[in-house]
Amino acid sequence: MGKKNLCEWTKSDLKAKPGKYARLVLPPRYLCTACGRVASDADRLCKPVRLSDPTSS
Ligand SMILES: [Zn+2]
C-alpha cells in the first residue's frame, strides 16, 4: 500500500494534495484509456497507453 493509483484520486484528494498530484502527472507520458487521466508513470493508471511525443512527429 501507500502507492495510490492516480485513477482513484478524488476531487478532495486533489484539493488536499495538488503538489503531490503534479509530481505524479508531470511530465505526462501515459494516458488512461478507461478514465482519461494522464500520468508520468504507467503503473499509476488502470489502463495506461503510452502517449506519443507531439514534438517528434
Ligand atoms: Zn484510469
Three-state secondary structure readout of 7-31: HHCCHHHHHHCHHHHHHHHCCCCEE
> What pLDDT is stored for residue 53 in this prediction?
73
Q: What is the pLDDT of residue 10?
A: 95
In this prediction, residue 23 carries a pLDDT of 95
Distance 15 CA to ligand 1 centre (A): 19
Q: pLDDT at position 57, please?
A: 58
Q: Give, for all 57 residues of the chain, the pLDDT tens digit.
A: 456 799 999 999 999 999 999 999 999 999 999 999 999 999 999 999 999 876 765
Kindly list the protein residues that place their beta carbon closer than 5 angstroms to ligand 1, a single-atom ion.
Answer: 7, 32, 34-35, 45-46
Please tell me the distance between residue 55's alpha carbon and the centre of ligand 1 in angstroms. 25
The pair phi, psi for residue 45, each rounded to 5°, is -115, 155
Q: What is the pTM of this model?
A: 0.79
Query: What is the rounded radius of gyration, in angstroms, for the C-alpha atoms of the chain?
Result: 12
CA atoms in the 13 A half-sphere facing the CB of 53: 4
